[in-house]
Amino acid sequence: MAAEIHSRPQSSRPVLLSKIEGHQDAVTAALLIPKEDGSLTANEDRTIRVWLKRDSGQYWPSIYHTMASPCSAMAYHHDSRRIFVGQDNGAVMEFHVSEDFNKMNFIKTYPAHQNRVTAIIFSLATEWVISTGHDKCVSWMCTRSGNMLGRHFFSSWASCLQYDFDTQYAFVGDYSGQITLLKLEQSTCSVITTLKGHEGSIACLWWDPIQRLLFSGASDNSVIMWDIGGRKGRTLLLQGHHDRVQALCYLQLTRQLVSCSSDGGIAVWNMDVSREEAPQWLESDSCQKCEQPFFWNIKQMWDTKTLGLRQHHCRKCGQAVCGKCSSKRSSYPVMGFEFQVRVCDSCYDSIKDEDRTSLATFHEGKHNISHMSMDVARGLMVTCGTDRVVKIWDMTPVVGCSLATGFSPH
């Protein structure tokens, strides 16, 4: 069912501690139980399972509960031991788990959505369960009464959710590539702003309430950091993944961002450095270096009797350039480009060797990762995906042992 891999030797990469197997379908969510050698999993095979580590070193399910519909999202509040499970049929179900994690009692069902639930957050202070779904809406319901308090609809599937517990701001990512910032009230909400920068659907969000930074990962393989607290609209682009970015976690203590992609890539980004914003791409009818016309500039082609060229953009300066004037490739980590991208010839000459030093480390999870969660206090990470396998990792060799005295997120 599950196997202990090996002990924790110090290295510069994540250490695989355990593999939990036995699910009959994709694992949609896996969470570590704080202060326990245990994990919660929600699965497309319609089961919720609580896995506890036995004396043998193996993980075995202490709770195995079958639902009416595939489980698509999960939230767990450890202090009250309440579990909220979103389903493919749009319902959110609440359970209470016993102190020894051997029994789980059903509390109530919330008719939150008309289609698949994609994300859930529970706020104890307001007694709200907030969720997003494929019915293109975010809903918030009262956990005391079970009543719907409010809904807000979008033009696309709502795919992910983050929430600021102090201000009651909700961040909702959708399949159009847009992030909407909402202020939730008891029975209504107001749109504060929308964030546009990704070229693909938003797959995951992470909100850091201390530095007031929002991180988003998308199907365009990139991560964007939005400086919400700075109020200057500052954004940083991070490109190092080769597949859809599915999960994020920002470690405020060490100023590091952990991101996971569907091809199993695990990246740890150093955010404790001075980074540059990627420039806006400029538009021009001719190359801004050699002034040769682009192929749609019919007048200049006719006047100069030349064939039009294809337009490209330098990733460092943003200028519109032709292929001849941007024949070089370079990494530029300070701007978030961890692999080689197109730069114009003059920018290439300005990049020094030390400018190409990586500001991230990349690791191979060796399985599909569709969801990731971290126990920051213990430096542990759990990953899961469509390969039906759950993996538990020791991240302290990568992110630093100081996490052992760190903090636990909401």
Nearest to 371 by CA among 200, 249, 255: 249
Do 345 and 314 touch, CB atoms closer than 8 A? no
Gyration radius from the chain CA atoms:
23
Q: How many Å apart are CA 324 and CA 132, to the nearest integer?
A: 47
312-354 pLDDT, tens digit each: 999 999 999 999 999 999 999 999 999 999 999 999 999 999 8
pLDDT value of position 230: 76
Q: Is there a contact between 20 and 39 (Cβ–Cβ < 8 Å)? A: yes
Structure tokens that stand for 367 in this block: 């399985």
pLDDT at 401: 52
pTM (2 d.p.): 0.89
Pick 15-277+358-394's CATH classification: 2.40.50.140, 1.10.10.10, 2.130.10.10, 3.40.50.300.
Answer: 2.130.10.10
pLDDT band at 4 (very low <50, low <70, confident <90, very high): very low
Domain 298-356 has CATH 3.40.50.300: no
pLDDT tens across 346-362, in order?
A: 999 999 998 999 999 99
Q: Where are the domains of the chain?
A: 15-277+358-394, 298-356
Percent of the chain surpassing pLDDT 90: 81
* Torsion, CA 105, CA 111, CA 115, CA 120, rounded to 10: -60
Q: Are 130 and 142 contacting, i.e. CB atoms less than 8 angstroms apart?
A: no
Q: Are 238 and 336 in contact (CB under 8 A)?
A: yes
Which residues is 174 bridged to in the sheet?
158
Instruction: Say whether 396 sits in a helix, a strand or coil.
Output: helix
Residue 10's pLDDT is 39
- What gap in Å lies between CA 186 and CA 178, rounded to an integer? 25
Nearest to 200 by CA among 230, 223, 178, 220: 220
pLDDT band with cut points at 50, 70 and 90 for residue 231:
low
213-218: strand order across its sheet = 202-208, 213-218, 222-227, 235-239, 337-343, 328-332
- Per residue, the 3-state secondary structure of 374-393, as one string, reads EECCCCEEEEECCCCCEEEE
User: What residues have CB less than 8 Å from 189, skipping those under 6 apart?
Assistant: 150, 152, 170, 182, 183
pLDDT of residue 405: 39
Helix (H) or strand (E) holding 12: none
Q: Tell me the C-alpha distance between 87 and 89, whole Å.
A: 5
